[in-house]
Amino acid sequence: ALEMATMALLPRFVCLLICISITTASLLEYVPAFRGAVVQHVPRKASTARETIAENLELYAKHAERAARERADIVVFPEGGLISFNFSTQDEIQPYLEYVPDIAHPPAILCDPERSSSSSDRMQALSALSCLARKHRMYIVANIGESYACSRGTSGAACPARGSFTFNTDVVFDRRGRLVQRYRKEHLFQGESVLYDHIPRSWIPEVAAFDTDFGVRFGVIVCFDVFFREPAVADRRHAVDAFVMSLYWENDGTFPLMTAVQVQQGFSYALNTTLLASGIGVSGETSGSGIYSSGRAIAYDFVNREDERVVVASIPERTRSFIRPDAPQSPASDSRSIVSRSTEKDIRHADVSVGEVVELRARTSRVSCAARFRVAHGNGRIALLALSGAMFRNLLNANLCTLFYCSKQGCDALDMEYRSSVSVEALELTGHFPRGSLVYPMVAQDEGKLVEQVSTSQQGNGDVRMALQHPHSFLNAVLYAESPSS
């Protein structure tokens, strides 16, 4: 009888083992390899809004064809790539806006050749992008200006007097041309609030992501979002493997200098994720697109001139993971409600020459910084800055440590030279940040070139250490962390 009972239980036991094995495998599974493309695009401007969109769509078609020839699974286009940002009022931008339908279940195919060629249809770009994705069997991420109709008392938020919201929106199409995601930019940069509306808080989704047929789940962010913990950290906690980002960067918009590609690489490291970032190639002031995996720069484009190109690369298989164990749990700040209106800075500098070993320290009430390095080549002035408080005209609270080569104009100057005559080795930059900080490590060489991989360690007590052992031309090294408003 015991033997018969044992035999009866055996199938259930085997089933249990199989289920446990499947569950364990899912926890340890890999993020599949895929081919990604990002476009560094120079927007064109025509005489009318619809002609402008049509002309840029023609270029998008060429870029998509190039990406398809190189077997890309997904291509990302930049922020403002179809319309640019040469507007000063919402009235000026209205003719460029499109109607974006809610995500349907199942998703809708928006491809309609008649609409795509129409100079008056308010879904002109959406239709054309859907057709491109369908034609090339490729995921497409693009940025548009969105007009979303509302009425007072029925929208769940204060409806503007014109009867519609204006949003800075990324749209995503799958290989069949179906609209699978619509993401409205959460954190608007300086001049954008004149053109676009902030998304009502009650409308902010718990997660903005889309799944692909090649097994990777992507989150979506737009430009200035990258400096904030949310939505990215929330997305990672919802099993997002990678991110796509459209951007229209201002490389001269920060002191100390943080270029687009530096921030992209730092974000990829801090979130332990893959990032596909597409920027505008009008000049060195806006340049910066790239593909990164857990902080490694796989391929990127950054030049101090007008530049239009498609960057395509293979993203290798990697272990599926969530955010780093020491990632912050503290509440994120919001670009609409920053409390701090002041910035605390401490800057120390040294005139350096070949062979010197240099040590510098700087601190504020919230962050302490230390740097040590040996000068391998050249001479000049290098400064260490500790900064806490408001950045970007009070849009963001941050803490940072940055070691940087001073320009000809001095250590307080904000310039676009990207040039350095000094190389360093055995570099260590350390910072003590408030507990729970999510710190982006960033390094730039002469002319803004990246170091392929930055060695960084972060402790639970807020101590962060970044190290570069081998000689590198040196422009700057940065440890950046958003600081929650208090």
Q: Which residues are catalytic?
A: 79, 185, 223
Burial (CB count within 10 angstroms: exposed 0-12, middle 13-18, buried 19+), residue 441: buried
Number of CB atoms found within 10 A of residue 178's CB: 19
Burial (CB count within 10 angstroms: exposed 0-12, middle 13-18, buried 19+), residue 65: middle
189 neighbors 392 (Cβ within 8 angstroms): yes
Planar angle of CA 29, 35, 37, nearest 5 degrees: 130
At residue 369, the 3 state secondary structure works out as: strand
456 neighbors 265 (Cβ within 8 angstroms): no
Number of CB atoms found within 10 A of residue 106's CB: 8
441 neighbors 272 (Cβ within 8 angstroms): no
129 neighbors 113 (Cβ within 8 angstroms): no
Contacts of 91 (CB under 8 A, 6+ apart): none
41 neighbors 77 (Cβ within 8 angstroms): yes
**How does DSSP classify residue 178?**
B
Q: Give DSSP secondary structure letters for 217-267.
A: EEEEEEGGGGGSSTTHHHHHHTT--EEEEE----TTSSSS---HHHHHHHH
Distance in angstroms (rounded) separating the CA atoms of residues 22 and 24: 5
**How does DSSP classify residue 414?**
-
Distance in angstroms (rounded) separating the CA atoms of residues 246 and 64: 15
186 neighbors 204 (Cβ within 8 angstroms): yes
**First-last CA distance in the chain:** 70
